[in-house]
Chain A
Amino acid sequence: MLARQFDALLAAADSDDGIDFDGLHVAHESDGGYTFATPEHEATGLSESELHAHADGSPYVTNWYFWEREVQRHESPRRAFLRHAEAADDHGVHERYDALADGMVTEWGQLRIEATLADAAGDATPADGSRRYDVRHVDDADHPVEELERYDDPLEARELSKHDDDGMYRPLKTGTNMPTGWAFHDLDWRDAVETVETLYPATVANWYREREGRLDIDHWTDTTDRQTGIYGIVSELPREAVEWVAEAACDDSQCVKRREWQYDEGDDLAADGGTGAFPCREPCSLVIAAARRWTKLEEEEPREYTFHLTPSEKDQIEGVIDAVADGRVDEIREADVYEDANRYRTRYLRAKLFDDHGNLGSVPTDPEEGHDHDDHDDHDDHDDHDDHDDHDDHDDHDDHDDE
């Protein structure tokens, strides 16, 4: 216990309410003596120096000081999150201090947050109950911190999480492609929450609201009905397609948030919402932008095409789609010709089944208009260009005008 901690304890004991926190009870009684009580022990009628003797070395005191004099912020998401990181509502102070000595781990999406107690820095500076935190990728749990790239400024989390391990831009901060190989180590409580909130913005706030029973969910219909500009059409996406949107984008394999939004209040989607630690309260901008594309694509009527495929070719096409959808293409070894999405296998299939215009089985995509596949390609490119968010928003009178 530090001198200032005892001073704070005295001041709080002298105040009207005294202290009643996490099992610690301290009061200045009307008879002039102090009471110092913990679940294990109670002493009354203490002088100031006797109170000091009881308080010194008591984890209850440093624990009180940490929460009530440092973190404070009652009824706030940050405090609740930090309490959660040491399961403070479930465990008494002794038990927690023992566990913190070994490190208490919370998984938060792909993050691993470990809370510990700050060490005493020699006899002159006894352990003061302040907590230290380590934040890193769950997959790096077993790495000694020296092997990881170390950071200490939470703002650096913006840059480091911008790209995945393959160097690709991550448009969704809660995508399951958080890069590995780094650690924010030995953070204080402020920087710990700040780091988590930088890597996964607003997740602490929304988790807290959910705990408090006041998560403000905006379902698919709420969210799409309020869209304007180029996103106004998204509300026209058929309900069954919204299932596919949720399955495509919000699955645990793609996003660490737990999807709590449904099609509408009382009209749940069948797609699995996932098991994430924190909720998703409305379709995100990435999903809305993708859904705009799907809305346009779903405006097309199906047509009947006739192709002749061997059973293995049909299987292979399915296998290629699976491999792309599951992001496995890069893992397929060059010579593994048993994999449907193997590059040689796929090139062979293309050589066999595509004509010079890139049409599968020589069947034109648009037989009536006599468009060959090249035209179709051009058309697609044009659309893609239009649909680039930064460009197309502009083309469609949404975004860039005033940016």
Chain B
Amino acid sequence: MSQALVIVAHGSHLNPGSSAPTYDHADTIRAAGAFDEVRTGFWKEEPSLREVLRTCEADEVYVVPMFISEGYFTEQVIPRELRLDDWDVADWDSDGLSADVATYTAEDTGQTVHYCGPVGTHESMTDVLVRRAESVTNDPDVGEGFGFAVVGHGTERNENSAKAIEYHADRVRDMDRFDEVQALYMDEEPEVDDVTDYFTAEDVVVVPLFISDGFHTQEDIPEDMGLTDDYRTGYDVPAAVDGHRIWYAGAVGTESLMADVVLERAADAGADVSAAIESVRETTRVAPGADD
């Protein structure tokens, strides 16, 4: 029986770059050859979440949401739009971080849909955050002498979003790789605006836990941290702020290793993708001193 992977993401009516990371990761996975079909579907673009399943010929579909945390989208919008009529959030049996998979029959197509938890809460996402630090510093061994900050929204609108930030910050801390690790938020303390207050290390890598670059990661955060007065003029990497060097990485979701998290989600849901996981880890590696 053939199997398809469908990556679902937000997309945008205004920002042409919003879909780019989703397309890129889909292409990486397609090239790895683990699925008969790899498709993408969007809330705001096409194919819509409503119609993406019918673009797949496979009877068995693994759906992986390109979202940072469990919440409104993963729990309400996506299952509803995909017509997983029997969906019940309790089937994920999640504490807000542990959604893995629940399986349903899509009402309109009859396909078996393995609906996976979002990429953002998967443990392998921690590796992507670290990989992002390697990419932005162009140093595969970055860590010593460096501080590391993960940035997200606060708890104000979605408690789970802050949980995901804390979770990955803890895991990076446990690696003992960076001198200091800190979770920072856009709308609550500890605030990203005060990034330099939270680190003694001169060099600090700042990685926003966001799927794609847009308003928050390209305008808000750089200005809030004082990397630039006006996002339109751009900023340096690293940028000097209050005696620190801030290595601002932009959205973690654009990191090519994200494709691995998507595959891990599908693997956890039962897809046979182990060979692809190896190949994706290999092809997305940061070569020492590589200049990309």
Contact = CB atoms under 8 A, between A and B. Distances in A.
A397 B73 CA distance: 11
Given A155-B27, A171-B45, A202-B52, A398 B80 contact: no
A399 interface: yes
Interface stretch (A119-127, A283-291, A322-330): A283-291
A202 B47 contact: yes
Contacts of A391: 215
A285 B14 CA distance: 12
Given A158-B23, A399-B73, A169 B46 contact: no
A216 interface: yes
B158 A162 contact: no
Q: Interface residues of A toward B: which range?
A: 35 or more
A402 B12 contact: no
B14 A389 contact: yes
Contact of B70 (A201, A394, A399, A402): A402
A202 B161 CA distance: 32
A253 interface: no
Contacts of A73: 57
B248 to A, nearest CB: 19
B23 A202 contact: no
Nearest to A289: B13
A197 interface: yes
B160 interface: yes
B280 to A, nearest CB: 17
B51 A403 contact: no
A229 interface: yes
B54 A228 contact: no
A284 B67 contact: no
A395 to B, nearest CB: 9
Interface in A46-73: 73
Residue with the greatest number of chain B CB neighbours at <10 A, chosen from A171, A173, A206, A282: A171
Contacts of B77: 228-229
Interface in B198-230: 210-212, 214-216
Contact of B55 (A172, A205, A289, A401): A205
B72 A229 contact: yes
Contacts of A399: 10, 43, 73
A158 B21 CA distance: 13
A401 to B, nearest CB: 4
Contacts of B12: 171, 389-390
Interface string A286-305: 10010000000000000000
B161 A401 contact: yes
A345 interface: no
Contact of A401 (B16, B45, B72): B72
Contacts of B54: 202, 205-206, 209
Interface string B49-73: 0111011010000000001111111
Contacts of B76: 228-229
Contact of A169 (B14, B43, B69, B74): B14
Contact of B157 (A201, A285, A401): A401
Contacts of B108: 216
Contacts of A398: 72
Interface string B2-35: 0000000110111110100001000100000000
B18 to A, nearest CB: 7
B147 interface: no
A285 B73 contact: no
B118 interface: yes
A396 to B, nearest CB: 10
B72 A402 contact: yes
A80 to B, nearest CB: 13
A285 B13 contact: yes
Given A78-B57, A226-B80, A402 B73 contact: yes
A281 B18 CA distance: 25
A174 B48 CA distance: 12
A401 B10 contact: no
A390 B18 contact: yes
B216 A400 contact: yes
**Which 7 residue pairs across A and B have the least CB separation, nearest first?**
A402-B71, A201-B47, A401-B158, A202-B51, A171-B13, A205-B54, A169-B16
Given A202-B46, A209-B54, A403-B212, 5 more contacts: A73-B57, A229-B76, A285-B43, A401-B72, A401-B157
18 contacts: A155-B27, A169-B15, A171-B12, A201-B47, A206-B54, A229-B76, A229-B77, A284-B48, A286-B13, A388-B14, A389-B13, A390-B214, A391-B215, A401-B69, A402-B69, A402-B70, A402-B118, A402-B158
